[in-house]
Amino acid sequence: MLSMGAALLLVTGSVTAGKASSEDASRVRQLMQQQAGMMTPELQAKVKDLSPDTKRLLMQILSSHDRYSDRVTLRQVMHEVLSDYQSMVAGVMTDNPEQAADSAIRIANHRIPVGGLLPYLGIENINDERLAVLESFNDSVEGNARKLAAVAGKGDMTAASRLVGDIAAGCVGCHAVFRGQPGVSAYLKK
Ligand code: HEC
């Protein structure tokens, strides 16, 4: 077990989860402490240097999720998100409000991988400048997925179909910053 000092890295007294209730804020604070305790010293040092604003943003993102895994990786979560995305589109295309809305909500409340998001984003991206862009990708994907759930739930598939593209743009935008081409081999000459 890591010391409490290490576990408390992420959480400074003044950082709260924005509009969340104080009960919610303490739940999120506890989660972030757990996640920090799982990180290597190298990542812990990067996280420690993040500004209160960035930490607040990370807490906000966590507080909008209530599914946490203690074993699956971000890559596995992403494959599940892709399945939910495809199911959401199928619901829109077949005029099925229940499938579209439920799948969109599953995207918005996707599982958080073991250790949180930060361990998977690349150590070179763990700084205030790079992490600031998470907010807009989060809004594009999760914000628009919630909007899609609302309009699809009312049976308005025309409005829902317009939001599909906004969600896809959020996926692709985030990949352009935080992910390279999947599956590149080290055994091909450059
Ligand atoms: C917060 C940024 C972010 C957003 C938003 C995001 N992704 Fe990802 N995605 C990643 C990262 C980072 C990886 C690489 C994870 C790894 O390999 O450890 C990834 C990987 C993936 C993979 C796996 C590729 C492989 O290597 O097997 C799929 C599939 C995927 N994302 C689908 C989606 C879909 C669909 C959406 C939108 C509904 C989405 N992602 C939104 C950051 C994001």
Instruction: List pLDDT tens digits, range 122-153.
Output: 999 999 999 999 999 999 999 999 999 999 99
Two tokens at 134? 């998470």
Quick check: 98 and 54 in contact, CB under 8 A? no
**Ligand 1 site, CB within 6 A:** 74-75, 78-79, 81-82, 85, 107, 120-121, 134, 137, 141, 167, 170-171, 174-175, 178-179, 182
Q: How far apart are CA 3 and CA 10, in angstroms?
A: 13
Please report the pLDDT score of residue 100 as a whole number.
Answer: 98
Q: Of all atoms in ligand 1, which is nearest to the CA of residue 79?
A: 29
Quick check: 123 and 42 in contact, CB under 8 A? yes
Residue 170 identity: G
Please report the pLDDT score of residue 19 as a whole number.
Answer: 53
Displacement of CA 102 from its chain's centroid (Å): 18
Per-residue pLDDT at 13 exceeds 80 = no
Place of tokens 């190298």: 42
Please report the pLDDT score of residue 4 as a whole number.
Answer: 42
Mean pLDDT over all residues of the chain? Answer: 90
Q: How far apart are CA 166 and CA 145, in angstroms?
A: 9
Quick check: 69 and 131 in contact, CB under 8 A? no
Q: Cα(139) to centroid of ligand 1, in Å?
A: 15
